[in-house]
Structure formats: structure tokens, C-alpha cells
Amino acid sequence: MAYRAVEIIAKKRDGQQLDPAEIRWLIAAFTDGTVPDYQMAAFAMAVFWRGMKAEETAALLDAMERSGDVVRWPDLQWPTADKHSTGGVGDKVSIPLAPAVAACGVAVPMISGRGLGHTGGTLDKLESIPGFNVHLDLAAFDRMVRDIGVSLIGQTERLVPADKKLYALRDVTATVESIPLITASILSKKLAEGVGALVMDVKVGSGAFMKNRESALALAQSLVGAGTAAGRKVTAFLTAMDRPLGTHIGNALEIVESVEILHGRGAADTRALTVRLGGEMLRLCGVATSLEDGEARIAASLDDGSALQKFRVLVSAHGGDARVCDTPEAVLPQAPLVTPLLAWQDGIVTRMDALQIGLAAVHLGAGRNTAADKVDPAVGFVLAKKPGDAVRAGEPLVYVHARTDTQTQAALAELQAAIAIGRDPPTLLPLWLDVVTA
């Protein structure tokens, strides 16, 4: 049945519930060009103001997922799962998590994105490894997952094309923040991978898309509800992003920290997220009997070398230099200048604002403001102190990795504005704020 886009827009504008058939028609017509951008922009704004019922969001998700190629794993020898983070500063968890989960008997066909704004992207980090190719087609992606149980690629032209077109419109029409549209955008890509289980990491705080717990919880509930309605097992964790995650910020630098985690070392908060999110993936797939059992299995894979070995195979399969697993500093690009920001007084680090530090990294060249911007894989920051740490005047707080002295001085000034030193311990968000399950 054919519909008229203007009638669907008016119906949502007036706060009425759309039929699944209307939503399917609209997405298909927008994808093939029958519905022009200006009408879809009007629809997005109507959804922004009027919202969607859970049934409408589920129908939108389904229509977007089916707008292009869909991957299925009917005869795979392992169960499948994936993880998605809503983005933050220093969040490199996908890189150690995917091989750790695969080492524990769950396949991870992960389709990732690039960084935009102050949040980093998994693809940019992986591409800092010499030779690592994220531009595999779906046939090669399928073969790799079947052979080694894990692959990390970018979104192909034929995977969820409706999301590519709609997201570009939302970005320039001030409709990005709509929870139904966010839910459909995130889940359409993940469900098109064909995975049976999903763990969502919804960040909360200054460096997150959702700045407060209430909005993050609403998004988590929407993601779990829509994913469950689509027949998947879904859990969403709310985690802190009021300060950077881990110690390394920047593409090659975050690979260095990821390798540390895979060697059973590294920052405690990065390891904790890797262990818990991975443990829940194992639980949802039935490989672990409980979250605690799953966490123990992931931790063991990090400590016994099996996750590192899986990462080594993954890097080689993608054409990358596997020496990164043993001597990352000898393989990865490095900035010529490394300069410390020194503490200006004795005390306790009371603030390291994630948003400000993330923006400073973008200005340094580690991130991009538009999709067309190039990133410098070598630049970034290494935190010598974290919020709550004691510091003496003259001790390093952060090491700036930069190309030029001008970049260095600008970054030092931005970092000093983002960091506070006081006398009393800081009030920080707990690493784990909440969990939402079906």
C-alpha cells in the first residue's frame, strides 16, 4: 500500500501513533529517494517533539535494519554477541573486549564507527596499527568470523543505508537527541550484524552524550525494550564519563593501553569495564552461568594470554602488524614531542573534566569535528594522575604527545583549565551507576 509522506508527518506532528506499515513505507521510500530529505527532516523533528511509543520505535528499528543487507549466522559453531558504547573520552574497551569474549567461546562480529567530536572511534584506533584494514566487505567479514570468531569492520555501503541518510539529516537539523531516533540508529546497525545478544554501555557525565543519570536511564530502557522486542537478549549498563576512562587518550595511545589490558595489566577502570561487559556477554549467550562466572572467565582470558593470542590472530587476519601485541611502541606512530603538564600546587586531583579534555584532544588532531576531517593517529594525552590521586607541585599530571610546540602549548593551557587540584577528595560518579535488563 502506498502512503503520502505529508500525512504521516502530520499524524506524528499531532501526537498520534503511527502504524508499523506507515513506518516501513516511509523508511523504504526515504532510502530509495522517493521521500526527499526535507520531508524526512520534518518527520525527524515531529518525532523529536512528540516521541514514539515502544511499538513505533520497534517498527522504526526493524524498518531501518532491513533497509539494506542483513547478516545472519544460522550454522555458526559459537553463539554471537556484541557490545556498543554511546561514546566517551578514552573509551577503548571494544578493542580488548572483542578478543577476550571470542577467546571465551562467543563470536563477536563487531561493526564499529569513527570518532566525531570529542568522542573517539574504534575504527580510527584500529587503523593506527600499520596495515590494519577495516574496509572488509560482508563476505570477508563472514569468513573471518567463521574462521577466528571475531572481526571488527566499518559500516558498509549496503548495511543499514537508511541510518546513514537519516543520521546525516539529524546532525544538521538539531534532532540528534531524540531517544527513539537514537535507539533506532544504534540498534539497527547492531541487529543487522545478526548477533543474538547485545550489551550496551550508556555513558553518563560531562564527556557523555547523556549528561545526567535520568536521560541516560531513559535511553538505556529504550534500547533494552526495543532490542528485546526484536528478539535479542539485551542488557544496558550506565557507567561514568565525568572523567576520562583509563590513562591513554588518542588513537595509537589507546592501542597501547588496550595491549596493556590484554597483557593482564593496565588501568583498573578500563579493565573493570572490559571484564564486566564481557562477562555479561558470556552470560547472555549461556556460556557463563552468571555475571560473576562470566567476569571470572574474561579476567582469566586477560591474565592467561588467551585474549592476547586472539587479538594477535585478529590483527594478522585484518592485515595489521601483529608485533603491536608485544612491542606496540615500536610499531605504532609516535608524536615527536612529549611534554608534561606539571602540577601547580600540592593537593588532590579533584577534577579532570572529560568533555574539556576530549575537546583538547580534538584540537590537537586526535579527533575530528566533521566526518571529512583527518585524524593524527600519534597525538594525544597520557594521564599520570587520575581524580582522587594525591599530587605534589612539580609532579607530572598529564603527558602531551604533539607534533609542534604550538600544539603543545595550546594543549597544556586547555588541560590546565580542565583539571582542578584541591584539598578534599573529589565527588565523582561511581563507575557503575545502574543496570537495565529485560
Q: Please report, for the chain, the start and end positions of each structural domain, with discontinuous segments joined by +.
A: 5-51, 81-328, 333-422
Q: Is 191 helix (H, G, I), strand (E, B) or coil?
A: helix
24 catalytically annotated: no
Domains 5-51 and 333-422 in one fold: no
Superfamily of domain 5-51: Transferase, Pyrimidine Nucleoside Phosphorylase; Chain C (1.20.970.10)
pLDDT at position 176, please?
84
Considering the candidates 24, 66, 84, 232, report the single residue annotated as catalytic: 84
**In the sheet that 233-240 helps form, which strands lie side by side, from edge to edge?**
81-85, 197-204, 233-240, 432-437
Cα separation, 264 vs 63, in Å, equals: 42
202 φψ region: left (φ > 0), alpha (ψ -120 to 50), beta (else): beta
Instruction: Identify the active-site residue in 83, 170, 283, 385.
Output: 170
pLDDT of amino acid 115: 66
Active-site entry in 91, 163, 201, 353? 163
CB-based contacts of 326: which residues, under 8 Å, 6+ apart?
Answer: none
> What local confidence, expressed as pLDDT, does residue 279 receive?
98
SS3 for 360-373 is HHHHHCCCCCCCCC
d(CA 288, CA 286): 5
**Which CATH number applies to 81-328?**
3.40.1030.10
* Predicted local distance difference test score (pLDDT) of residue 116: 64
Pairing between strand 150-154 and 108-112? parallel
In DSSP notation, 30-89 reads HHTTSS-HHHHHHHHHHHHHH---HHHHHHHHHHHHTTS-----TT-SS-BEEEEE---S
Verify whether residue 163 is a known catalytic residue: yes
Q: What's residue 434's pLDDT?
A: 97
165 given a catalytic annotation: no
Cβ atoms within 10 Å of 194's Cβ, excluding its own? 17
Catalytic-role residue among 112, 151, 185, 301: 185
The per-residue pLDDT for 117 is 66
297 is catalytic: no
Strands 233-240 and 197-204: parallel
CATH code linked to domain 333-422? 3.90.1170.30
* Residue 261 identity: I
Q: What is the mean pLDDT of each run of 10 residues along the chain (438 residues)?
A: 92 97 96 96 96 94 93 93 94 97 97 75 94 93 96 88 89 88 92 94 94 95 94 97 97 98 97 98 98 98 98 98 97 97 98 96 86 88 98 98 97 98 96 96
Order of strands across the sheet that contains 390-391: 390-391, 347-352, 419-422
Q: Phi and psi (nearest 5°) for 382?
A: -125, 120
Nearest to 307 by CA among 325, 290, 291: 325
Q: List strand residue ranges (DSSP E) for 106-226, in order.
A: 108-112, 150-154, 197-204
Q: Is 214 exposed, middle or buried (0-12, 13-18, 19+ CB in 10 A)?
A: exposed
37 given a catalytic annotation: no
